[in-house]
Structure 1
């Protein structure tokens, strides 16, 4: 099955499903996530059976999410430098093996808390290796015009799975035990592996070869540091998911201690979250059109905080169910807003690394938040700690409302024709940084407007690979302006030429309009001669 070269027109929320390969992998996403939720419900419930209360549940959840903090960024580098299809297939096979180990120990009744936490950590490591590559393939499957719709459909798939998986997991644990639940996850992993096998991916050309791991990692971090919109989105993700993580840590304890339920009730309540998320995902375009992107995010955060406070005082599971349904609305609206905003900030060449940073913040906030809220619940009632979490979310929403709107990127980040290959007189460039200089001649009356345009171009230089950038003017010839920037190596500068986007080309064109002269501004490259 080949990836189509031309996707359906944008504007149709279900348009990406007309692309066969996206439809195949979208269904596989649902199956895989259903299996993951089934496995996680079984593990969370086993943690309560094995003793330890809130601390045990928090330890299992943290073990499953903490690896993303440790491995997501390296996984993002791998997703940008290796064949993503082969990487995803290898990880799916690894996840099936890990769950087979859980199944075998549970079958023999040898699964203790230590082994449960250790295998949950390995499962989290597999998820960490898979997540950036899985999200980064979306533009390959549907093309950039359908990217927003495809991201929304992936969020819908996650929450269809959330509405099915937890309820199925709770039912399986209650009726057939954890062994059956783990078996479902093994089968779902094999189904995803089969779908990936059918995808005949055409890997993009790499004119300069595969990028070395270290330089690729550094380039991704430089891009993030030079991107104000991305940094703000990451900060918002850390704030929200850290505060909202309390519900996932404390819900099993509320089911057991306050509502006197079992695994079946726990799964059904988690299913209510998924149903609410699906309802919200179907209405997301209308909600965004009515409230705007920033209004939708703030409303969803406020809804999350209010429902968490409500859950802290809900006396019965019957009253908790509609609150969890509303929680699903708030959770998916925030998740979709932040993930689609992150995708919009990323050009293709750094997509895996940028998404890895987002996933690191997302899962790091969940892991650290789970540990913090679990520790707090060790000395206070779960309901009290849950009320603190909801109140903090409401206070954070008020503070964000005063800070102003989210970044709204409409820049065209599709690849542009690369800059001409820089000239090199020697067979090989010496090691060390490269100094690039561009000389402009500007009319004094246009100096302020030129510097403003040049500042925007400088940010794109730093995003593309420069680690220092500056502007200077000739003291003896006002209007002769020198733009300079440093790149770590000659190979890195050559890659910078190929990372050029349409937005970079637009910014460069704006700057060049101020240059006085028949020829383009002269560019010079200086190589390092001394360490």
Structure 2
């Protein structure tokens, strides 16, 4: 079961599923039969329907690219098929992550799948009528890519909801296998269909392939929407971006992904041109090339977890990146199908090795409360890099030649592997214990209410507090008493505490030296609202965060004192009970005597102050 995308984007989606399995395995998931998740009825039907849908999706990609080849479009235009499929993630990836975090995912998928089916049907009818143009084809491909961008985060998050925890790793592996089986079958089937029935029939089969998945989703009973605490849209978006910005390991992984995906996508964008111009293949031959990539990816889905256990994350990514770079350079320089096919099998294996391992490592460092939003940022980097890489490759292919462009891209990928040897990632990803939600012990709120709706009236001795605004900005102040000998160690720990606070919701963070009380250091941080601060305590703080804060807290010679301040809204207009202060009575003024005609008019002193 995997969301549909196009070209390299769909291949990456399959790797995402493998990465999920890797993440779960890293957390020590129990080893059970590889096919055990198929015993879960709803997963089995979704997996079968998803396989059929992905076969149709791969047929659509081949049909679109070959349509442009037959139109004698330039390499730059042909490469835009990958760009049109991936670019929507740049626009909708982050909002889709927020939507997938809190929405009814089943209804979301039904709606998006329906839109995709209608779009694919329009594509088939327009092509059959002879009204299809390259611009219209790219526009409809962009529409299909937009739908994929909206549904992808929800699709990734739905597997843990339908299979037992111990089967999640195997379910993710099966999802990846389904995507890569579709990649092996879809392109070859598309080539045969184009040769015998034409491109419009390929697009029609893609439209029909949505029917099975739609039927399964509509008939699905017993689905329970996520019960996560809902947040305002923009607040939830900021929280997800804030987490990624202050999670150093996650940022490093995203950078590595970007450095790989931009040059690596040259092969996916320009392979149709290589098949036509260098290997003199027709649509059947092009489908055979994509099938070879699919076979390699299927083998990689089974082999990569074992290699990762043996080599570690950094060495595996470096090795598979180097293999991919050398492989696509070989494909670019080869003019013989007998050489190209086995090399593409190795390239498919290397592709799944890099993308799946990076994604699995990312998932192992993303806590549950922000996982869907964090993965949407991952998709933003992945699909955005895909769109950028396809655009650059197309432009270079037109100007300096396709073979030179792909071979040069392979050299750049090899350089990223060398760079990784000097800047290694973490060798393991086993962080499941540290990512489990744990209560925040170092800054406990005063008498936490039972829920956000109860946050407006928290009792306080001797009387009741004034009403508390749950959406009011919250300032948390923590005072530590630190010995001079412990100060360097404490400051080093507080650097990590700052990152922890910011990851979980702090908007500002400052450390102060109390000049009036020597030996005391004051930490102050603000959170967007009291509700969000409660979320810090209840769901956002992980075991890893708690370990850091406890280590800093242990250096304090006395128990750290904590204060919570919640902002008060100052009224714009005075309350009716508030009256103006009384003014002093004005003494009566003596009557002015009548002025005689022969006397000058007296000057009356002004009661106003003169302006200096």
TM-score (norm. length: structure 2): 0.80
**Which residue among 214, 225, 228 is the counterpart of 1:203?**
225
Could you give the per-residue CA deviations for residues 86-135 of structure 1, whole angstroms, max 9, x where no partner exists? Answer: 21221111111110111111221211112101100100100110111111
Q: Do 2:51 and 2:178's aligned partners in 1 also have CA atoms closer than 8 Å?
A: yes
How far residue 446 of structure 1 moved from its aligned partner, in angstroms, is: 3.7
How far residue 19 of structure 1 moved from its aligned partner, in angstroms, is: 4.3
Structure 1's 497 and 308: CA in aligned 2 closer, same or farther, altered over 3 A? same
Could you give the per-residue CA deviations for residues 32-52 of structure 1, whole angstroms, max 9, x where no partner exists? Answer: 222211111111111112232
Please identify, of 19-28 and 349-358, the stretch whose mean Cα deviation from structure 2 is larger.
19-28
How far residue 350 of structure 1 moved from its aligned partner, in angstroms, is: 1.4
**Which residue among 171, 176, 198 is the counterpart of 1:177?**
198
**Which residue among 158, 171, 177 is the counterpart of 1:156?**
177
* Count of residue pairs brought into register by the alignment: 522
Could you give the per-residue CA deviations for residues 409-447 of structure 1, whole angstroms, max 9, x where no partner exists? Answer: 433323345765377644352976321112233444444
For residues 143 and 515 of structure 1, the distance between their equivalents in structure 2, rounded to whole angstroms, comes to: 43
Q: Does 1:288 align with 2:329?
A: no
Structure 1's 145 and 342: CA in aligned 2 closer, same or farther, altered over 3 A? farther
For residues 537 and 133 of structure 2, the distance between their equivalents in structure 1, rounded to whole angstroms, comes to: 54
Q: Do 1:24 and 1:195's aligned partners in 2 also have CA atoms closer than 8 Å?
A: yes
Could you give the per-residue CA deviations for residues 25-77 of structure 1, whole angstroms, max 9, x where no partner exists? Answer: 33333222222111111111111122322122112221111111111111111
For residues 342 and 451 of structure 1, the distance between their equivalents in structure 2, rounded to whole angstroms, comes to: 28
Could you give the per-residue CA deviations for residues 433-478 of structure 1, whole angstroms, max 9, x where no partner exists? Answer: 3211122334444444444444333322111111111222322333
Name the structure with the higher helix share.
1
What SS class does the counterpart of residue 467 from structure 1 fall into? strand
Name the structure 2 match of 1:499.
539
Name the structure 1 match of 2:284.
264
What SS class does the counterpart of residue 475 from structure 2 fall into? strand
Q: Does 1:323 align with 2:364?
A: no
Q: Does 1:395 align with 2:415?
A: yes
Q: Do 1:99 and 1:185's aligned partners in 2 also have CA atoms closer than 8 Å?
A: yes
**Which residue among 360, 363, 366 is the counterpart of 1:343?**
363
Q: Does 1:314 align with 2:334?
A: yes
Name the structure 1 match of 2:507.
467
Structure 1's 13 and 343: CA in aligned 2 closer, same or farther, altered over 3 A? farther
For residues 311 and 463 of structure 1, the distance between their equivalents in structure 2, rounded to whole angstroms, comes to: 43
For residues 24 and 369 of structure 1, the distance between their equivalents in structure 2, rounded to whole angstroms, comes to: 36
How far residue 255 of structure 1 moved from its aligned partner, in angstroms, is: 1.1
Structure 1's 12 and 333: CA in aligned 2 closer, same or farther, altered over 3 A? farther
Q: Does 1:513 align with 2:554?
A: yes
Name the structure 2 match of 1:3.
none
Q: Do 2:180 and 2:298's aligned partners in 1 also have CA atoms closer than 8 Å?
A: yes
What SS class does the counterpart of residue 468 from structure 1 fall into? strand
What SS class does the counterpart of residue 303 from structure 1 fall into? helix
Name the structure 1 match of 2:269.
249
Q: Do 2:314 and 2:420's aligned partners in 1 also have CA atoms closer than 8 Å?
A: no
Q: Does 1:415 align with 2:437?
A: yes
- For the aligned residues, what is the CA RMSD? 2.6
Structure 1's 13 and 230: CA in aligned 2 closer, same or farther, altered over 3 A? farther
For residues 144 and 483 of structure 1, the distance between their equivalents in structure 2, rounded to whole angstroms, comes to: 39
Please identify, of 76-85 and 405-414, the stretch whose mean Cα deviation from structure 2 is larger.
405-414
Name the structure 2 match of 1:11.
31
Q: Do 2:104 and 2:226's aligned partners in 1 also have CA atoms closer than 8 Å?
A: no
Name the structure 1 match of 2:189.
168
Structure 1's 195 and 508: CA in aligned 2 closer, same or farther, altered over 3 A? farther
TM-score (norm. length: structure 1): 0.91
Q: Do 1:136 and 1:355's aligned partners in 2 also have CA atoms closer than 8 Å?
A: no
What SS class does the counterpart of residue 209 from structure 2 fall into? helix
Q: Which runs of 5+ in 1 are unaligned?
A: 1-6
Structure 1's 520 and 402: CA in aligned 2 closer, same or farther, altered over 3 A? closer
**Which residue among 330, 348, 354 is the counterpart of 2:374?**
354
Structure 1's 12 and 48: CA in aligned 2 closer, same or farther, altered over 3 A? same
**Which residue among 63, 72, 91 is the counterpart of 1:70?**
91
For residues 383 and 13 of structure 1, the distance between their equivalents in structure 2, rounded to whole angstroms, comes to: 44
For residues 167 and 494 of structure 2, the distance between their equivalents in structure 1, rounded to whole angstroms, comes to: 32
Q: Does 1:33 align with 2:54?
A: yes
For residues 207 and 399 of structure 2, the distance between their equivalents in structure 1, rounded to whole angstroms, comes to: 38
Mapping for residues 230-249 of structure 1, pairs under 5 Å = 230-249=250-269
How far residue 20 of structure 1 moved from its aligned partner, in angstroms, is: 4.2
What SS class does the counterpart of residue 41 from structure 1 fall into? helix
Structure 1's 13 and 477: CA in aligned 2 closer, same or farther, altered over 3 A? farther
Name the structure 2 match of 1:480.
520
**Which residue among 450, 455, 478 is the counterpart of 1:438?**
478
Structure 1's 509 and 199: CA in aligned 2 closer, same or farther, altered over 3 A? farther
Structure 1's 277 and 78: CA in aligned 2 closer, same or farther, altered over 3 A? same
What SS class does the counterpart of residue 300 from structure 1 fall into? helix
Please identify, of 170-179 and 68-77, the stretch whose mean Cα deviation from structure 2 is larger.
170-179
Structure 1's 153 and 459: CA in aligned 2 closer, same or farther, altered over 3 A? farther
Q: Which runs of 5+ in 2 are unaligned?
A: 1-24, 450-454, 457-464, 573-612
How far residue 516 of structure 1 moved from its aligned partner, in angstroms, is: 4.2
Mapping for residues 101-120 of structure 1, pairs under 5 Å = 101-120=122-141
How far residue 18 of structure 1 moved from its aligned partner, in angstroms, is: 4.8
Please identify, of 292-301 and 132-141, the stretch whose mean Cα deviation from structure 2 is larger.
132-141
What SS class does the counterpart of residue 506 from structure 2 fall into? coil
Q: Do 1:21 and 1:199's aligned partners in 2 also have CA atoms closer than 8 Å?
A: no
